[in-house]
Amino acid sequence: MSRYWSPIVSKLRPYVAGEQPRIPGLIKLNTNENPYGPSPRALEAIGQAADDRLRLYPDPTATELRETIAHRFGLAADEVFVGNGSDEVLAHSFQALLKHELPLLYPDVSYPFYPAYSLLYDVETVEVPVDDRFRILLADYDRPCGAILIPNPNAPTGIGLPLAEIETLVTTHPDAVVAIDEAYVDFGAESAVPLISEYPNLLVIQTLSKSRSLAGLRVGFALGQRHLIEALVRVKDSFNSYPLDRLAQAAATAAIKDEAWFETCRRKLVASRDALVRDLETLDFEVLPSQANFIFARHESRPGAALQAALRERGVLVRHFAKPRISEFLRISIGTDEECARLVSALKDILAA
């Protein structure tokens, strides 16, 4: 606390990012990064873009990237908004589309950035409880609201919401923006993008950090009808007219075009996830059904915090949230098969002690 702080700063509860270790050799399964590395074409594109042109400002509208994303999803370029990671796209969405007189609804077990942004932008919210099996129940959203924000699949649970249910939410709340945070959608959930042309109140947010292995590049995007995208652009242009640097625009464009690389990594990851679930179940873990590149699991007798600490001692990082309802769980990102094997062997060692 300082007397020099603005009144809002003392109220903030900033998001605490997962550990990015400096010690080499740790198995890093704590921040849902992709273990397979980005498309080689994205790396080549960075090489080609890294020249004297860096003295020039980048394209403020990221037109080539937006056109490439639009083409990939069967939309027009003005139905695409890009930003510095989907975190920034979410931040702009809070200001541009999710803040109204009636509250914003989102699940009580979801991405911790939602409450952080709500405080920062002074958005009134209702955190809607997930049920005792951590599912989002549509009936609970049947209440007056200004907007709804749903991660699909949900994080940190990994549970997906079927497209028909998303469509019901969108149709039953025609006056509210329904934003679907699809950070992890490529690992098995159903994307709401095909609904965009039909529904003027649907915004879909995705990222290149997960299925395209570019968390370090910081590129995310939103898809929706023109009037929604225009609101995001107005906020962006009032904040920072150059959201993405030259290298990020070039690499992201190349990554989106490399469908083959995306598909191969995605398949490998889903197969590793399913194998890891089976291994953990034999070690007496309950694993929530995951459609993401991570799983959320609790052991029948060992507390989450103790397991996380014991794994760290053995060189394996996983995520634990010291929060009501979910403190028994570990969130484990899916690594390579070798990394998953190291995790399982560390767990066997811990559980045998």
Q: What is the DSSP track for 25-46?
A: T-EE-SS---TT---HHHHHHH
Place of tokens 């603005």: 6
Euclidean distance between CA atoms 68 and 313, whole angstroms? 44
| Shortest distance in whole angstroms from residue 340 CB to ligand PMP | 20
x-or-dash pattern for ligand PMP, window 251-290, by CB under 6 A? Answer: ----------------------------------------
x-or-dash pattern for ligand PMP, window 6-45, by CB under 6 A? Answer: ----------------------------------------
Nearest residue (CB) to ligand PMP, 150 versus 316:
150
| Shortest distance in whole angstroms from residue 351 CB to ligand PMP | 28
Nearest residue (CB) to ligand PMP, 86 versus 95:
86
| Shortest distance in whole angstroms from residue 313 CB to ligand PMP | 25
Nearest residue (CB) to ligand PMP, 156 versus 304:
156
Nearest residue (CB) to ligand PMP, 79 versus 181:
181
Binding residue count for ligand PMP, defined by CB under 6 A: 12
Nearest residue (CB) to ligand PMP, 184 versus 285:
184
| Shortest distance in whole angstroms from residue 31 CB to ligand PMP | 7
By the 10 Å C-beta count (0-12 exposed, 13-18 middle, 19+ buried), 132 is classed as: exposed
What 3-state DSSP class applies to 317?
Answer: strand
> What are the angstrom distances between the C-alpha of 215 and each of 57, 196, 314, 329?
23, 26, 25, 24
CB 41 within 8 A of CB 258: yes
| Shortest distance in whole angstroms from residue 18 CB to ligand PMP | 8
Nearest residue (CB) to ligand PMP, 145 versus 252:
252
Nearest residue (CB) to ligand PMP, 117 versus 285:
117
Structure-token pair, residue 146: 């200004």
CB 323 within 8 A of CB 335: no
Site residues for ligand PMP, 64-103, by CB under 6 A, read 85-87
**H helices present in the chain, as ranges:** 7-11, 40-49, 63-73, 85-93, 113-120, 163-172, 226-237, 246-257, 259-282, 304-313, 337-352
Residue 190 engages ligand PMP in binding (rule: CB under 6 A): no
Among 29, 116, 145, 155, binds ligand PMP (CB under 6 A): 155
Nearest residue (CB) to ligand PMP, 188 versus 346:
188
Residue 183 engages ligand PMP in binding (rule: CB under 6 A): yes
Site residues for ligand PMP, 191-250, by CB under 6 A, read 207, 209, 215, 220
Nearest residue (CB) to ligand PMP, 319 versus 342:
319
Q: What is the 3-state secondary structure (H, E, C) of 118-144?
A: HHHCCCCEEEECCCCCCCCCHHHHCCC
What 3-state DSSP class applies to 296?
Answer: strand
Phi (first) and psi of residue 206, to 5 degrees: -130, 175
CB 190 within 8 A of CB 153: no
Q: Which residue sits closest to ligand PMP, CB atoms considered?
A: 85
Residue 186 engages ligand PMP in binding (rule: CB under 6 A): no
Site residues for ligand PMP, 113-152, by CB under 6 A, read 151
Structure-token pair, residue 316: 């394996």
| Shortest distance in whole angstroms from residue 15 CB to ligand PMP | 9
Phi (first) and psi of residue 18, to 5 degrees: -65, 155
Cis upstream peptide for 35 (omega within 30°): no
Binding residues (CB under 6 A) for ligand PMP: these are: 85-87, 111, 151, 155, 181, 183, 207, 209, 215, 220
